[in-house]
Amino acid sequence: MEFLQPSTWTEALQMKSAHPEAMPIAGGTDVMVEINLDRHRPASILDLTRVTELNQWGADGEFLRIGAGVTYTRIIGELGDRLPGLAMASRTVGSPQIRNRGTVGGNLGSASPAGDAHPPLLATDAVVELASVGGTRRLPVREFFTGPKRNAMKQDELIAAFLVSPAKGPQQFSKVGTRNAMVIAVCSFALTLDPVRKHIGTGIGSAAPTPVIADEAERFLEGVLDEGGLWEKPASVDASALARFGELVAAAAKPIDDVRGTAAYRRHALAVMARRSFGWAWDEYRTKASE
Amino acid sequence: MGTFSKAMTAQNGFSVIGKPFPKPDAVSKVTGRAVYADDMLPARTLHCRILRSPHPHARILSVDTSAARRMPGVQAVITGVDLPIKFGILPVTQDERALEHEKVRYVGDPIAAVAAIDEEIAAAACDAISVEYEVLEPVMSIDEALAETKDERIQDYGGPNNIHKLVALEFGDVDAGFERADHVREDVFFFQGNTHLPMEQHSAIATFVDGRVTLWSSTQVVHYVHRALAKVLELPMNRIRVIGAAHGGGFGGKTDPFAHEIIVCKLAMLTGRPVKCTLTREEVFYAHRGRHPVLMWVRTGVTKDGHITAMHFKTALDGGAYGSYGVASTFYTGALQTVTYDIPAYRFEGCRVFTNKPPCGPKRGHGTPQPRFALELHLEKIADDIGIDSVDLKQRNFVKPMTRTVNWLRITSCGLDECTERVLTASGYRTRQKRRGRGMGFAISSYMSGAGTAIYWNDMPHSEVQIKVDRGGVTAYCGAMDIGQGSDSVLAAIVAEELGLQPRDIRLVTADTDTTPIDLGSYSSRVTFMAGNAALQAARKMRDMLVEAVAAKTGSPGDTVTVAAGRIGDLSFEEASILAEARFGTLTSAGSYTPPKIAGPYKGSGVGPSPAYSYSACVVDLDADPRTGIVKVNKVWIAHDVGRAINPLLVEGQVEGSVYMGLGEALMEEQAFRKGLHKWPSMLEYKSPTFMDMPEVETFIVETVDPEGPYGAKEAGQGPLLPVIPAVSSAVFDALGVWIDEVPVTPEKIVEALRRKEKGEAPRFGPVRFPSIPYPTCIKVEPPPRTLEVGSASAASI
Ligand SMILES: Cc1cc2nc3c(=O)[nH]c(=O)nc-3n(C[C@H](O)[C@H](O)[C@H](O)COP(=O)(O)OP(=O)(O)OC[C@H]3O[C@@H](n4cnc5c(N)ncnc54)[C@H](O)[C@@H]3O)c2cc1C
């Protein structure tokens, strides 16, 4: 096995271009599992941990641009106030050890339908920045996932960063799992309230071949809030509207029966999580508004 | 904590017993200095990997190892023809081979093994072995095993079809009992299989020097490994030595002799070099021998006021591919119902089937958590039916101390009432607020302090201890294996107590077939009771010699010589030991323990009798989300009648560990398969609780001082697991009004039961039918006289 260890981003891209088959490794919390279980024997490995550019984050216009190599622990500690939804999701990843090593870039690289970073990235309309020696392109995260554990990255590309706007309103993330730590989601749900754009964002994990958004549910709830003028005068939202929102979220999923849970339970739990997430987020919005 | 600390400081007249001493090996374990089998790396060690079957059921047509043998670094390759002799833990089911050359019966069945200079080469050589199979139709469930065989039976014994064992026993007149009843109820339950999940994977390393094999292994029973090695390797036992290495947990999963233990010995004999094999975590899931999945049917008759008149209990065990302890497991699913509740007439029909899955065997509570789950819930439903409080109904039927059950089990000490009172009071169970989504559940249980009969028929004591005193130092020798439960601590405490020393003064040599006398090993919760009694006897003999020597020297009568605080009379222990050595020569003493012959007069009576039973009661408080079905356990109160806590710190450790394991089984653990493959053979995907899931546990140690236990001690390692599982399900009912009659109690099952309830269907989730099984006609057994004479030694022998 060949081991490539670039120390700069330019070098990394050159190596990837010269060795398109090379498997990038960041935290290694997915890569090493694959190798140890002998599911995958890459001919060469491209170690990205020395590329300092990947470990940085900062402002990029109205966005935050976060390097692919920033770990969950750092997202929780350094960005928790600006990206509360992603931070909530990060707290549910694995264990402290996994969060110290694992990165959002790696989560995107694996593109597992169960990746916990994905629903909050979808719910906030995040953008993935891909780069190769040929240049850089930015892709909305909802176009990034192309199939189960497949993404839009080309052979010679690497993930440089993701871009996301700081929260303008309440965000939520919930996850159903068999236990309270070290658990891959049975299903998960992220919700964003954006009072500036009057927009509801959603993200569903582990309940379709890829992470997905609940388009129709978003538009339905936006309609309810607009019609009632609720963004301006936040009153409580009708229970039947909440129920409908839950149904629409569940309907957006395409779950299957697998070792972690049944399709029926996933749909059911998604509806519950959607209703509750909105309830919590809306309460927070109303409290803030009345202060 | 309140009761615990009281027990820890109890003024009980002992200087060591009842005090919370740390384990003798605590520091080495915590600092990583303990030497586990996998840590051992003698010069020139070869590494072994095992080629295992990818098919759940297939005939082996050919095995070609030529390519593997040619690989550089490969030192030896063996196949089934090199180890053809069958073995197995029970004499009646010698059905395993270290390497199969005719047929494989589960994914993971070993076929060939390689010894190479490193693990990678050994693994690559395994890949280079080509095996031709004729794939057979696999049998994957109890129903399939009962049905007509499609290709061929899994094993060539047992039957009809893939039935392994059938049992049918009747004690007293069951039909008359049902006729006498005012109310009769039937229920069906299912308990899913689960596995032990010890932190340490199985590991073994063997050497072959001067014609003698030495094996260090992570085993619970050096003696059984010793026997299996002698048989399969065709060597006299005196040319084999088995040593228990530092142990990282067993829970029953290291109680069988295993293929890899035999394989490394054979490879060491062939190469003359040390050979080591450590199973991967995935292999451990396939080695298994864990909890049997059991389908259960129970019918009970009660009078209007809730007294049981008769019970009929049927079980069907999914045994996996081999016998293992299965015959015993089958009997255990019917044996201990009677040691908590007074059942005047009892019929038990049990059945174990073979399936093409890893073999099931003993896991903590061996064969009894499943029926305990069923029994406790079943009685709650009966109480509901006849409008009696379920705790009252259970209490009305509690067995009494110094009685004999209808199936001839002898009950001496019994703390059921006190355990129950403790947890009910502490939890406020009786006055709890009824609120949707929050509930409490109560359950009780009992377990054996060691089986009264050995696994293979023999007249030897079940445990022996030798003590040597030399230059003031005390060494105790015993075959018992400390698997983390603290058996070394118990031995040290007992010897220290008797000799007026501290536990740290006692050197221990344990679990080594060359240097220690026999002990049947760490399973069946037998070590404290049996090795403890042997140690007590040996220590008292040694004490008598020391006292006699001091008395002779000082001219004072022996009974005035006190033994305490490191002194024998007026002399230091060292001075006394020199006097005694001068008087008696080499100072050694021995003690042994043979359980009383208390088995009933019927075939199959060997499973169930124990010199003493422990008792437990438990209350679980939980939140159950009526929308998602997610359960959060808030607190567990548990009281355990351990007879006497030799070391309350360790008793509490065992109780908490049992609660932990019980919660895992109740809520999440599943050893389940898809097309013969384990669904989740990793610690990430096989869900057992993390510390984020573990609630507070309040432990009450109840001391009934058993008449035959060492200082009155009984078991603590397994019993406290049993009530936790039904208490969880019962608390879910308390919270949501639905019965989950199937373990594990998962959110999906709760949601489905709630959905059924809403639709007006039966508010439960669980199996609906019990298959038709060709049980033989019941052996009818006349019940014994039901009371024992209090305090009579003859209680032991009837
Ligand atoms: C015990 C355990 C628990 C876990 N629990 C969770 C959990 O709760 N939730 C969850 O979502 N995940 C979980 N995971 C999976 C894993 O931790 C996450 O997916 C994590 O985000 C992966 O990040 P990493 O940096 O370790 O990625 P790596 O393993 O280094 O890489 C993952 C993939 O991304 C590619 N890659 C990495 N960086 C780049 C880059 N810059 N450009 C292009 N490709 C790249 C790699 O080639 C590889 O295909 C768990 C894993 C383990 C072992």
The pLDDT assigned to B9 comes to: 43
| Number of domains present in the structure of chain B | 3
Residue A17 lies in a domain: no
Asked if residue B526 lies in contact with residue B450, where contact means CB atoms within 8 angstroms, the answer is: yes
Task: Inform me whether the pLDDT recorded for B593 exceeds 50.
Answer: yes
B315 in a structural domain: yes
Q: Does the beta carbon of A75 lie inside 6 Å of ligand 1?
A: no
Are B635 and B728 in a shared domain?
A: yes
- The CA distance from A255 to the nearest CA of chain B, in Å, is 15
pLDDT attached to residue B385: 98
| Residue percentage of chain B with pLDDT more than 70 | 97
Query: Which one of A1, A112, A178, A270 makes the best mutation probe of the B interface by having the most chain B beta carbons within 10 Å?
Result: A178
**pLDDT beyond 70 at B2:** no
Clarify whether residues B513 and B437 are in a common domain: no
Nearest CA to ligand 1 atom 31: A106
pLDDT of B471: 83
Indicate whether B681 belongs to any domain.
yes
Cβ distance of B692 and A259 shorter than 8 Å: no
CB contact under 8 A, B693 and A272: no
Please indicate, yes or no, whether residues B438 and B538 belong to a single structural domain of this protein: no
Residue A259 lies in a domain: yes
Distance between alpha carbon B458 and the CA centroid of its chain, in Å? 21
A67-120: pLDDT as tens digits: 999 999 999 999 999 999 999 999 999 999 999 999 999 999 999 999 999 999
Q: Whose CA is nearest to atom 4 of ligand 1?
A: A94
The rounded distance, in Å, linking the Cα atoms of B335 and B315 is 12
String of DSSP letters for B655-722: HHHHHHHHHHHHHT----EETTEES--STTTS----TTT--EEEEEEE----SSSGGG----SSGGGT
Is any atom of ligand 1 closer than 6 Å to the C-beta of A163?
no
Of A37, A180, A261, the CB nearest to B690: A180
Per-residue pLDDT tens over the stretch B556-575: 898 899 999 999 999 999 99
Give the model confidence (pLDDT) of A249-258 as tens digits. Answer: 999 999 999 9
Q: What pLDDT shows up at residue B792? A: 47
Q: What is the pLDDT of residue B239?
A: 98
DSSP letter for each residue of B550-619? HHHHHT--GGG--EETTEETTEEHHHHHHHHHHHHSSEEEEEEE-------SSTTTTSS--S-EEEEEEE
Taking residue B213's Cβ as centre, other Cβ atoms within 10 Å add up to: 21
- Whether A192 is in a domain gets the answer yes
Q: In this predicted model, what pLDDT tens digit does every residue of B57-75 receive, in sequence order?
A: 999 999 999 999 999 999 9
pLDDT mean over B438-449: 98
- Whether A157 is in a domain gets the answer no
In a domain, B53, yes or no: yes
3-class DSSP assignment, residue B796:
helix
- pLDDT attached to residue B793: 42
Instruction: Please tell me whether residues B627 and B668 are part of one structural domain.
Output: yes
- The answer for residues whose C-beta is within 8 angstroms of residue B563's C-beta and 6 or more apart is B498, B499, B500, B543, B546, B547
State the greatest distance between any 2 C-alpha atoms of chain B, in Å, as a whole number: 88
**Which residue is listed with tokens 């749900």?**
A189
Predicted local distance difference test score (pLDDT) of residue B551: 97
**CATH value at residue B508:** 3.30.365.10
Say if the Cβ atoms of B685 and A269 lie within 8 Å: no
Q: Does B467 fall in a domain?
A: yes
Pocket of ligand 1 contains residue A98 by CB under 6 Å: yes
At residue B457 the predicted structure's pLDDT band, cuts being 50, 70 and 90, is confident
Please provide residue B693's backbone torsions phi and psi, each rounded to the nearest 5 degrees: -105, -10
pLDDT at B7: 40
Q: Can you tell me the distance from the alpha carbon of B704 to that of B414, in angstroms, rounded to the nearest whole number?
A: 7
Inter-chain residue contact A176 with B747, CB threshold 8 Å = yes
B744 secondary structure, DSSP code: S
Contact A261, A175 (CB under 8 A): no
Residues B654 and B555 in one domain: no
Domain that holds residue B765: 294-453+601-781
Residue in A178, A179, A265 nearest the CB of B751: A265
Contacts of B387 (CB under 8 A, 6+ apart): none
Q: Is residue B430 part of a domain?
A: yes
User: Are B377 and B438 within one domain?
Assistant: yes
Q: Give me the pLDDT at residue A289, please.
A: 87
Any domain includes A153: no
Q: Considering Cα of B237, then B240, then B241, then B246, what sign does the dihedral take?
A: negative
pLDDT reported for residue B788 = 87
Please tell me whether residues B326 and B408 are part of one structural domain. Answer: yes
Nearest chain A alpha carbon to B678: A259
B630 and B745 belong to one structural domain: yes
Residue B188 included in any domain: no
Boundary of a domain, candidates B264, B287, B310? B287
> What is chain B's mean pLDDT, rounded?
95
Q: Residue B738: is its pLDDT beyond 60?
A: yes
pLDDT tens sequence across B706-732 = 999 999 999 999 999 999 999 999 999
The residue segments making up the domain with residue A260 are: 171-290
The label of the residue with tokens 């694959």 reads A34
* Mean pLDDT to the nearest integer, A257-272: 95
Question: Is the shortest distance between the CB of A116 and ligand 1 below 6 Å?
Answer: yes
Same domain, B440 and B525: no
A215, two tokens:
């388009």
Q: How much is the pLDDT for B790?
A: 57
Residue B302: name the closest of B178, B170, B395 by CA.
B178
Residue A8 has pLDDT above 60, yes or no: yes
**Averaged pLDDT, B273-284:** 97
Question: B744: cis peptide before it, omega within 30°?
Answer: yes
User: What atom in ligand 1 is closest to the CA of residue A25?
Assistant: 30
CA-nearest of B562, B700, B472 to B15 is B562
Kindly give the distance from the C-alpha atom of residue A95 to the centroid of ligand 1, in angstroms, as a whole number: 13
- Spatial separation of the C-alpha atoms in residues B333 and B317, rounded to whole Å: 9
pLDDT given for residue B11 in this prediction: 58
Long-range contacts of A221-229 (CB under 8 A, 24+ apart): A221/A245, A221/A278, A222/A198, A225/A198, A225/A200, A226/A198
Model confidence pLDDT, tens digit, residues B621-667? 999 999 999 999 999 999 999 999 999 999 999 999 999 999 999 99
Residue A5 domain flag: no
- Whether B127 and B267 map to the same domain: the answer is yes
Q: What is the CATH number of the domain that holds A218?
A: 3.30.390.50
Q: How far is the CA of A68 from the centre of ligand 1 (A)?
A: 11
Same domain, B444 and B313: yes
A128 within a domain of the structure (yes/no): no
Which of the pair, B126 or B434, is modelled with greater confidence?
B126
How high is the pLDDT of residue A14? 98
Q: Quote the mean pLDDT of chain A.
A: 96
Average pLDDT over residues A206-212: 97
- Residue B536: pLDDT above 50? yes
What residues contact A258, with CB distance under 8 A and at least 6 apart?
A: none
- Say whether both B210 and B118 belong to one domain: yes
Q: Which among B593, B611, B629 is the end of a domain?
A: B593
pLDDT, one tens digit per residue, over B64-115 is 999 999 999 999 999 999 999 999 999 999 999 999 999 999 999 999 999 9
Mind listing the pLDDT tens digit for each residue in B479-512?
A: 999 999 999 999 999 999 999 999 999 999 999 9
Q: Is there a contact between B193 and B292 (Cβ–Cβ < 8 Å)?
A: yes
- Report the residue of A179, A262, A278 to disrupt the B interface, i.e. the one with the largest count of B CBs within 10 Å: A179
Whether A164 is covered by a domain: the verdict is no
Which residues of chain B are within 8 Å of residue A178 when distances are taken between CB atoms? 668, 687, 746
Q: How confident is the model at residue B785 (pLDDT cuts 50, 70, 90)?
A: very high
Cross-chain residue pair B747–A265, CB shorter than 8 Å? yes
Angle A32-A35-A36 from CA coordinates, rounded to 5°: 80
Whether B216 is covered by a domain: the verdict is yes
Residue A110 Cβ inside 6 Å of ligand 1? The answer reads: yes
Q: How many domains does chain A have?
A: 1
Render pLDDT for B33-59 as a digit per residue (tens, 0 to 9).
999 999 999 999 999 999 999 999 999
**What is the nearest CA distance from A95 to chain B, expressed in angstroms?**
10
